[in-house]
A and B are shown apart, each in its own frame.
Chain A
Amino acid sequence: DTEVTQTPKHLVMGMTNKKSLKCEQHMGHRAMYWYKQKAKKPPELMFVYSYEKLSINESVPSRFSPECPNSSLLNLHLHALQPEDSALYLCASSQEGRKETQYFGPGTRLLVL
């Protein structure tokens, strides 16, 4: 099974709201990732968790707060977002290591009003 699941599929939020995106995998992977993809652009890495510890933060604004409660789950907490944060948010997972295939979830389409 190479499935990564993400909820919700779609999310509309106001600039004062707090919401969370969720990602889950049951492949025993120990690395998990958040990517952001704007329309007609490639995905861009936001965060990497390795063995449940944050290992890479690509200078993402603090209004995005990642959390890895256990090896199967990854959350992205959203607070005080801006309309320009509207995008497709993709979660991925892989075995830990430099030469491992990353598997992506279906994404959450976020619209900030």
Chain B
Amino acid sequence: GIQVEQSPPDLILQEGANSTLRCNFSDSVNNLQWFHQNPWGQLINLFYIPSGTKQNGRLSATTVATERYSLLYISSSQTTDSGVYFCAVSAAGNKLTFGGGTRVLVKP
């Protein structure tokens, strides 16, 4: 099956800092989503982005499908950005495979 790797595994930021999270995948995909999992376990949709670039407030994402990676940018980080960020992809059908996640801690 498809392999999904995220880096870095852990990230500690000072409030106000910018950061980039990376997701590499091993095969062509027809679905790529970024999620934020809050401390209570809720998975919150950030982006549906199998290709191209999208922006939503302080967050933006870029997927380069031909090179099999996606980037999530967090600008001017806030303490509420803390949590785990997951990239998930689907190569066939509607089966999502998740990467290992990046655990982000934003310090005040």
Q: Which residues of A contact B (CB under 8 A)?
A: 2, 31, 33, 37, 41-45, 48, 50, 55-56, 88, 90, 94, 96-104, 106-107, 109
Write the nearest CB–CB distance from B14 to chain A, whole angstroms.
Answer: 24
Q: A45-B95, A94-B94 are in contact. Are A100 and B43 (CB under 8 A)?
A: no
By the criterion CB–CB under 8 Å, are B41 and A56 in contact? no
| A48 and B94 within 8 A (CB) | yes
Interface of B toward A, CB cutoff 8 Å: 30-31, 33, 35, 40-43, 45, 48, 50, 86, 88, 90, 92-101
Determine the distance from Cα of A102 to Cα of B86 in the docked complex, in whole angstroms: 13
Contacts of B96 in A (CB 8 A): 33, 45, 102
Q: Which residues of A contact B99 (CB under 8 A)?
A: 42
Q: Is the CB of B41 within 8 A of A106?
A: yes
* Contact indicator A90/B43 (Cβ below 8 Å): yes
Flag if B101 contacts A102 (CB, 8 Å).
no
B50 and A99 within 8 A (CB): yes
A43 touching B43 in the complex, CB below 8 Å, given contacts A99-B30, A100-B31, A101-B33: yes
What are some 21 contacts across the A-B interface (CB < 8 A)? A2-B45, A31-B94, A33-B96, A41-B100, A42-B98, A42-B99, A42-B100, A42-B101, A43-B98, A44-B98, A55-B93, A90-B41, A98-B92, A98-B93, A100-B94, A101-B48, A102-B96, A103-B45, A106-B40, A106-B41, A107-B41
A72 to chain B, nearest CB (A): 18
Query: Smallest distance from the beta carbon of A48 to chain B beta carbons, Å?
Result: 6
Task: For residue A109, give the distance in angstroms from its CB to the closest CB of chain B.
Answer: 7
With CB as the reference atom, state the residue of chain A lying closest to B97. A45
**A104–B42 CA distance with the chains assembled, in angstroms:** 8
State the Cβ distance, B35 to closest chain A Cβ, in Å.
Answer: 8
- Closest CB-CB distance, B41 to chain A, in whole Å? 5
Q: Given A42-B98, A42-B100, A56-B95, decide whether A98 and B31 contact each other with a Cβ distance below 8 A.
A: yes
